[in-house]
Amino acid sequence: QVQLVEAGGGLVQAGGSLRLSCAASGFPFTRYIMGWFRQAPGKEREFVASISRSGDSTVDAESVKGRFTISRDNAKGWVYLWMNSLKPEDTAIYYCAACERCPLPSARRYEYDEWGQGTQVTVSS
């Protein structure tokens, strides 16, 4: 059974940090591009960051560039999102996603095959 299970969300003050994790199981993890997306109330789900199969290249949304870092541990089947200098506009449900057919890290949400249940991140001002 394919599963992506996120954890690490919570309530933080503006300027603070969080690390999100995503535990993958039920599929060949290293064959998939991995990504993080987020969705705030009343808004579309938007791209945050994506990472190559080997972990040697990444793509970040302009809104998080320089503040967030995506990484993966292929031995464990886990992907992470390190979030620093958090802003109130980062408040959203964050979703882990996997893309089998993406040739490169991808910002296109409809290309992703598998999705986690999401974890809430709330940044207070």
Q: How confident is the model at residue 119 (pLDDT cuts 50, 70, 90)?
A: very high
* Selection from 117, 114, 106 nearest residue 47 by Cα: 106
Yes or no: say if 81 and 35 are a contact pair by the CB < 8 Å rule: no
pLDDT in tens, 80-107: 999 999 999 999 999 999 999 999 999 9
pLDDT in tens, 38-91: 999 999 999 999 999 999 999 999 999 999 999 999 999 999 999 999 999 999
Q: How confident is the model at residue 124 (pLDDT cuts 50, 70, 90)?
A: very high
Task: Give the pLDDT score at 98.
Answer: 98
Angle at CA of residue 109, ends 104 and 113, nearest 5°: 80
